[in-house]
Structure 1
């Protein structure tokens, strides 16, 4: 048992020897109790991996007092453990594996070195690195110090990078040396640490690995202490600052582990950019909760055949990707991977049934959708061993109680806003929106956490995604779900991606318009548009028909989510005049 988190005060501030010994023993017991409670909850889910009914009925979130996941879980499972915890394959096929024991030692060295650079408990640290070992070293090290991580994707521009520091109240930045100039002007009181050749005024993180590997924390971490401050991706508004604790994400992601179906020894590949919540979900907490290996395949440009070859060669057993990647991947020959993963899941946006069908046909496994947010861990999912109903996200996972609330009446409904019951409060739910009590209160009004997403539930409890509350629109007094139309559009062989938005219409108020990304070999012309319109007429009800179409790239957030709000605004501008006929727009006139 690793009890290094038990030292209750900095060495320089120790009380008298007898009192210190007593405090240490109490802290040892608290840390041990937290580890035991976490392990018990984890082992229960592993034992009920395919028993959804039993898991949902009997699972209880662990009660955690003193708990630091990096010290009280990762270091515990890492002791003497030479099994691979992190496996990174580069674009040139070079690779490096790091064992649990090695990462524990490396993160100890980084923690000691960061403390010498002035990082203290409660300090906020912007972390902007790529998928490289230093990222995982720094995550574990900052956690061990009791400091707060502000994740940031390397795709951020200078304005957003500086915004993360300013709005996040960060005192330290750990970033790629090549990104140093993006933090120009953040203030001399901010510690700058670079991975790579350090610029003037920046410390080189590489120096940490020459230091001691025996780390002693300066105090006890409470499970309710802040661990993460996440900036949301902002599909409709300025990013919000989501606050998570040492319990809500590390232990909360037991639900994510359960959804994926991970078990010890798995090799798990998740396609996600560092800096976003999904990266923490499936590249840190869920796999290491299960004692599985995190597998990374780095590339500068997506290459389906190359990714499939890496999965085959390295024996990936579990694969998670956002719908955008799945849609691109099925353009490749999936059968080239003759030993496919036994677990395949998708998250970020709902998966279209066409994608699920193609993967099932090629690999004999079913992609299982899951639903969650930056604000939560996985809430709803198709879990292992359960029947997957096409188009459905599945059922609430163990630890979450989900209600569908009619936005108009506030009552329970078969279709309504997806909400989480707060009594009892699920462990995987955020503390709130940091620094915004009003927004937090609105999100948790009426005894529920409001996701802002609309879903419908069938008689067996399966929930199907309908859309964001601000995406669903009316046409001729009919409610239109963009996702339903997009699922039909993507079934056409010419369509790789599609986004449906309301287009102003003098007669019907709005009509559905599709923005379409074409597959290779298809021309953006009248003939292709007519083929797509004919497909929609054959598979959609008359009131759902796509009436307008435009071939264009889809605007996305840097985390890959389609910014339908931008397309809606563009439509209002294009059709400001009733007689407007935007160039490049095709109309369904059978």
Structure 2
């Protein structure tokens, strides 16, 4: 099929989306997108002049993706590029992805998928994942993203609480659903499985697609189960606008523009994957690049980045910490746009990358409930330790939890008088949690920060992670940043340990870099380092060498570390724990 034929075959509400003139929704979205691209290094102009497009009807897959796929400028541009560990690769152009997703949409419709149906999508980084995302959006189905690491108990929750009508999974995961009851369509990608529909049959369908009607901008699109670090996962609900359009802010933060080749290291099923492996790069008309591996290998990753010409790169702190333990200079042509998200990056990591690559990692802050809210944006000064300023389209306020008034340090909130497009509608089937999150005219993130006179915000911690020691407020992140400057520390998590005198003292759980033993000598060295670099009331006074418990999305479960039962006295000392008082050389 020619590119012109492809353009004519995809329709929105019965009218050609790009064949004749662009739809009003396409035009409004493009104008907002182009404004941010044009001012991607001029924060003041972008923040002052940006306005979210006003959309009553919008279907991102039809009104945007298919529109840019029909643009001759994208006829040979790759939308998706996946490289496997053995060096094999597959690439799909924008027109190819548009046509293949039309086939999948037609086939899913033939198998009973209808507007508003909830569909669990549990695939790895494979082409069928992106085809199904686009197809589901075209149909108006609601996607429930799921990690392939989930077990049967998690999946029961998603089927039951998610009211799933359909599941699309890898053949290898079919056994996980063997005992999960329910009236849902079972679809597998890969080898055939008895009793399941085979996804490969989709490619027998017509390459053109006609939707049943226009899509309301307020219709649901995504239902995310949060990672559940402290409680049962919440169901975060997003609309046809809040993620597709909301991630214009994420595109702006990264600095993406047409022609970029963007690598984001994130697992499917989690919000960050949708942020930077779907919406932000395709909003920018960039290429989504993936490198699949079974075990992280920094040298192999950098070799592929060199070979494939990666221009922008995003990774979570865990990956950045592993990267700096390798020879970063092995990457001959570093990407010019590098960002970190998931948890704040420590200054030591940022400095090592700057020294080796000549670029500065720019932090961004957001949640499953939102797109990027706060970030260090391209072309702007980066203040050490700060995660930047409110991005265009977001009005951020720090609110004192006690008084409810704005303050120099407080909970990071979004002012609902200027509600951003990139904000969830609420928690599905949970009015109480939704009301609490949107209380008093603000959306409450549950994170604490401080702000300076230039509007730069520094992350302090989760409201339930910040603790008191000797009546001083302690930010775990600040102490962890210092710990990471020690050559022996690869990762660290700080939590309060009960103390009979100080109420609590900071305790660090530490993962060591290669070549360092988890012994008294290493502990003394780290504790002495903390004494030299931290105020007395902030000092880390206990250390335990241990692997850090994490959610399957990679976030440290500090709540689990706090609950390990250290009562504070000598009689309760945990085997392998080292304390300041163990070392006579550490006085005071």
**TM-score range relative to shorter protein:** over 0.9
Distance in 1, matches of 2:290 and 2:9, equals: 31
Change (3 A) 1:167 1:30: farther
2:358 aligned residue: 364
Q: Is the 8 A contact 1:5 1:220 kept in 2?
A: no
1:460 aligned residue: 454
2:246 aligned residue: 252
2:52 aligned residue: 61
Distance in 2, matches of 1:91 and 1:2, equals: 38
Q: Is the 8 A contact 1:375 1:429 kept in 2?
A: yes
**TM-superposed deviation, 1:239:** 0.9
Matched, 1:119 2:113: yes
1:376 aligned residue: 370
Q: Secondary structure at the match of 1:74?
A: helix
Q: Is the 8 A contact 1:30 1:65 kept in 2?
A: no
Q: Is the 8 A contact 1:30 1:66 kept in 2?
A: no
Distance in 1, matches of 2:242 and 2:23, equals: 19
2:389 aligned residue: 395
Distance in 2, matches of 1:306 and 1:334, equals: 12
Distance in 2, matches of 1:574 and 1:482, equals: 18
Aligned residues: 573
Structure 2: state its 5+ residue gaps: 1-6
**Structural RMSD (CA):** 1.7
2:145 aligned residue: 151
Q: Secondary structure at the match of 2:134?
A: helix
1:78 corresponds to which of 62, 69, 72? 69
Distance in 1, matches of 2:344 and 2:16, equals: 49
Distance in 1, matches of 2:529 and 2:240, equals: 50
Q: Is the 8 A contact 1:126 1:151 kept in 2?
A: yes
Q: Secondary structure at the match of 1:456?
A: strand
Matched, 1:6 2:12: yes
Structure 1: state its 5+ residue gaps: 9-23
Distance in 2, matches of 1:325 and 1:173, equals: 31
Change (3 A) 1:430 1:320: same
Q: Deviations over 1:371-400 (max 9, x none)?
A: 000000000000000000011000000000
- TM-score w.r.t. length of structure 2: 0.95
Q: Is the 8 A contact 1:232 1:239 kept in 2?
A: yes
1:528 aligned residue: 522
2:181 aligned residue: 187
Q: Is the 8 A contact 1:344 1:366 kept in 2?
A: yes
1:414 aligned residue: 408
Distance in 1, matches of 2:8 and 2:506, equals: 59
- TM-score w.r.t. length of structure 1: 0.95
Matched, 1:588 2:574: no
Distance in 2, matches of 1:34 and 1:470, equals: 42
Q: Secondary structure at the match of 2:571?
A: coil
Q: Trace 1:33-432 onto structure 2 (pairs within 5 A).
A: 33-79=24-70, 80=72, 81-187=75-181, 189-432=183-426
Q: Deviations over 1:411-435 (max 9, x none)?
A: 1100000000001211000000011
Distance in 1, matches of 2:324 and 2:543, equals: 24
Q: Secondary structure at the match of 1:263?
A: coil
**TM-superposed deviation, 1:459:** 1.0
Q: Is the 8 A contact 1:5 1:221 kept in 2?
A: no
1:440 corresponds to which of 407, 411, 434? 434
**TM-superposed deviation, 1:211:** 1.8
Q: Secondary structure at the match of 1:579?
A: helix
